């Protein structure tokens, strides 16, 4: 299938420091047209919609890749900044499963503002034949005051597809299947539904996540928002990196106690087993695309405000000219969000979760005209309801292996829901 691609005019220039990136997002733009990818105050944000493509099914990645190649080929780009993330950029979010009822997308905003170290820039994008609707033409007026994000007010949380006890029963069933030798690991997710007093201002959620979870990648694409600690793949000038997380323990808030818990996590046979499956799946997926793939012998403990993870950074040198999106497609789904062997784990997920993950646990991030970019895994996230502006669906998942305890896994999922729950509540 050929999807028509627009011919875009792209204009990028350096700008004076306009303030925190997430604070620049304007209030008069639909939530689905707000985009963000920010970590430690650096990254890119965007608003408006110069172009987009929606894809689905087994070919969702390939369709988006072909469309983007056509957009790049037809674009007129004037980029005087030429840093990672400047010029023509698309934000993307992809469904976890091929049979999901939710579409995947690539979106090119009309305005993009970025920061790398001390360099700030703004990119404006428009069709080479301007559209007839002048309201589509967003401006990069970074000096204009932006209304502060609005609190959603009172928030009430309810069970999603499965209440806690039934989800624990699903975990117990998974452990039985693993113990019987049917598979080695499976990742089971659960959802909560948040109902708010006032319409949800996506900017409120983003600024709360940015303030509390600055060391993660805070993202928003087409109404999906979150703070992921897991980098599926990053490609910059031929260098490929991936951060793998698997194995989790909740923090107590007591520094001395947390150090002891971190040490126990690093020695936990259950968590080390889960982590090994995830790292192996990433290394195996990157091998056909890279040379000199480097996999550390042992993981480190990544400390986040609410939890600690076993983490491994995998790196390699690209040899076949693949784009970052192609790499993300080849890595998805990793054992960190699916399990191993993948076909068996995917089948068990479909049997036990009793829900459509949508874009949760799928690749989310951005890509530039050269194919470089960053794609995280959409974890610690929520999806805004397109029909009900006071509703958001929140997600969390846990890796299940032979040594998993259902009650402990439920507690771990609760810990992983904390970022989004707290962001809504303020």
Whether residue 185 lies in the annotated active site: yes
Tell me whether the omega of the peptide bond preceding residue 106 falls within 30 degrees of 0, making it cis. Answer: no
Active-site residue identified among 49, 65, 102, 185:
185
User: CA-CA distances (angstroms) from residue 304 to 122, 229, 248, 262, 411?
Assistant: 31, 8, 11, 11, 17
Closest listed residue to residue 399, CA positions, set 262, 277, 242: 277
Q: For residue 9, list its beta bridge partners.
A: 76, 126
User: CA-CA distances (angstroms) from residue 86 to 8, 51, 90, 188, 377?
Assistant: 15, 17, 11, 37, 22
Whether residue 416 lies in the annotated active site: no
Asked if residue 340 lies in contact with residue 281, where contact means CB atoms within 8 angstroms, the answer is yes
Active-site residue identified among 49, 230, 276, 326:
230
Catalytic positions, written as ranges: 185, 230
């Amino acid at each position: 299938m050929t999807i028509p691609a627009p011919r875009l005019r792209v204009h990028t220039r350096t700008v004076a420091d306009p303030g925190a990136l997430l604070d620049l997002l304007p209030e008069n733009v639909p939530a689905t047209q707000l985009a963000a990818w920010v970590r430690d105050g650096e990254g890119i944000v965007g608003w408006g919609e110069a172009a987009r493509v929606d894809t689905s099914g087994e070919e969702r990645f390939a369709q988006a890749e072909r469309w983007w190649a056509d957009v790049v080929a037809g674009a007129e780009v004037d980029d005087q900044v030429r840093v990672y993330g400047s010029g023509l950029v698309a934000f993307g979010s992809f469904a976890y499963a091929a049979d999901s009822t939710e579409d995947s997308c690539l979106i090119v905003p009309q305005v993009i503002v970025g920061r790398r170290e001390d360099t700030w820039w703004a990119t404006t994008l428009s069709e080479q034949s301007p559209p007839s609707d002048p309201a589509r033409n967003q401006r990069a007026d970074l000096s204009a005051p932006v209304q502060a994000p609005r609190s959603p007010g009172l928030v009430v949380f309810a069970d999603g597809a499965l209440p806690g006890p039934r989800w624990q029963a699903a975990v117990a069933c998974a452990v039985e299947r693993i113990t019987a030798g049917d598979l080695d690991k499976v990742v089971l997710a659960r959802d909560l539904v948040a109902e708010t007093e006032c319409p949800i201002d996506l900017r409120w959620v983003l600024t709360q996540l940015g303030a509390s979870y600055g060391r993660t990648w805070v993202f928003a694409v087409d109404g999906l928002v979150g703070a992921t600690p897991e980098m599926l793949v990053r490609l910059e000038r031929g260098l490929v990196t991936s951060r793998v997380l698997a194995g989790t323990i909740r923090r107590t808030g007591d520094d001395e106690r947390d150090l002891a818990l971190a040490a126990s996590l690093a020695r936990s046979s259950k968590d080390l087993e889960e982590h090994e499956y995830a790292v192996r799946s990433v290394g195996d997926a990157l091998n056909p695309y890279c040379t000199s793939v480097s996999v550390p012998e042992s993981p480190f403990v990544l400390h986040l405000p609410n939890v600690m993870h076993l983490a491994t950074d995998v790196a390699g040198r690209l040899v076949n000219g693949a784009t970052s999106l192609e790499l993300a497609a080849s890595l998805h789904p990793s054992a960190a969000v699916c399990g191993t062997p993948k076909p068996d784990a995917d089948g068990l997920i479909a049997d036990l979760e009793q829900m459509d993950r949508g874009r949760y646990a799928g690749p989310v991030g951005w890509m530039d005209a050269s194919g470089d970019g960053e794609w995280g895994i959409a974890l610690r996230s929520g999806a805004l309801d397109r029909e009900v502006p006071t509703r958001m669906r929140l997600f969390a998942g846990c890796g299940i292996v032979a040594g998993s305890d259902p009650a402990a896994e439920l507690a771990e999922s609760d810990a992983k829901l904390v970022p989004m729950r707290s962001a809504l509540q303020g």
